[in-house]
Amino acid sequence: KNQVEQSPQSLIILEGKNCTLQCNYTVSPFSNLRWYKQDTGRGPVSLTIMTFSENTKSNGRYTATLDADTKQSSLHITASQLSDSASYICVVSAVQAGTALIFGKGTTLSVSS
Amino acid sequence: NAGVTQTPKFQVLKTGQSMTLQCAQDMNHNSMYWYRQDPGMGLRLIYYSASEGTTDKGEVPNGYNVSRLNKREFSLRLESAAPSQTSVYFCASFRGELFFGEGSRLTVL
């Protein structure tokens, strides 16, 4: 069964600190993996998209990694800011027709001052 | 460009009432989706439309109907609302990635 597991479920860090969020998947055949950021009361917004051949991709202070062999991805946030407080959702796309997007349940990050 | 627009943003219904959630996108995307988001459950697919004139069931379609009115618009209808349908509903369009609306928060009493 295609599944996406995210950890931790929630995380609290101090402003300025770094953190890493994890995403493990069992989706096959794999097409790509996306990380979305969802602010409270808003819709999710894409942070980064990674394909099978990509190991690392950065978007400002956000760096995503992908290990297609172990089926793991991580999202590293550097020098966190209060505005990073949000839910981060990992979405894996399978190579198939129709509903090919498998969602993780998200990690809720709280950055405190 | 507005992207994906959902209406209404908030709605309170009584059990048994009906209502339609509206969604429109101005990005000329073929594919559109309706999701619901509940605490601890993540986003779950209700219905999707791969192109104008086609719709298909997702993971949790029971109690809902959809209409792909044209390429821009994809509506979600609750014929007889139940408390279990209290949720936040998101519409999205897709081209390479999902573009979400701001959500419609529905409470069924």
Got the DSSP string for A15-83? TT--EEEEEEE--SSEEEEEEEEE-TTS--EEEEEEETT-SEEEETTEEEEEETTTTEEEEEE-S--GG
CB contact (8 A) between residue A105 and residue B42: yes
Q: Which residues of A touch B41 (CB under 8 A)?
A: 105
CB contact (8 A) between residue A44 and residue B41: no
d(CA B13, CA B106): 8
**In contact, A63 and A76? CB cutoff 8 Å:** yes
pLDDT at A99: 53
pLDDT at B58: 93
φ, ψ of residue B76 in degrees (nearest 5): -120, 125
Q: Output the average pLDDT for chain B.
A: 95
Tell me the shortest Cα–Cα distance from B103 to chain A, in angstroms.
6
Q: Which residues of B touch A7 (CB under 8 A)?
A: none
Helix (H) or strand (E) holding B74: strand B74-78
Does the structure show a pLDDT above 90 at B15? yes
Q: Which residues of B23-54 are buried (b: 16+ CB within 10 A; e: fewer)?
A: bbbeeebebbbbbbbeeeebbebbbbbbeeee
Closest residue in B to A104 (Cα–Cα): B42
Q: Looking at beta carbons, which pairs linking A48-54 to residues 24 or more positions away fall under 8 Å?
A: A48/A75, A49/B96, A49/B97
d(CA A41, CA B49): 25
Does the structure show a pLDDT above 80 at B2? no
pLDDT at A96: 65
Residue B42 vs residue B108, higher pLDDT: B108
CB contact (8 A) between residue A103 and residue B42: yes
Q: Which of B41, B48, B101 sits opposite A43 (nearest CB)?
A: B101
Tell me the shortest Cα–Cα distance from B17 to chain A, in angstroms.
25
Closest residue in A to B55 (Cα–Cα): A98
CB contact (8 A) between residue A106 and residue B42: yes
**In contact, B88 and B103? CB cutoff 8 Å:** yes
d(CA A38, CA B86): 20
Whether the CB of A34 is below 8 Å from some CB of chain B: the reply is yes
Whether the CB of B47 is below 8 Å from some CB of chain A: the reply is no
User: pLDDT per residue over B36-89, tens digit each?
Assistant: 999 888 899 999 999 999 999 999 999 999 999 899 999 999 999 999 999 999
What is the percent of chain B where pLDDT is above 70? Answer: 99
pLDDT at A23: 98
Q: What is the mean pLDDT of residues B97-107?
A: 96
- Which residue numbers in chain A have pLDDT < 50? none
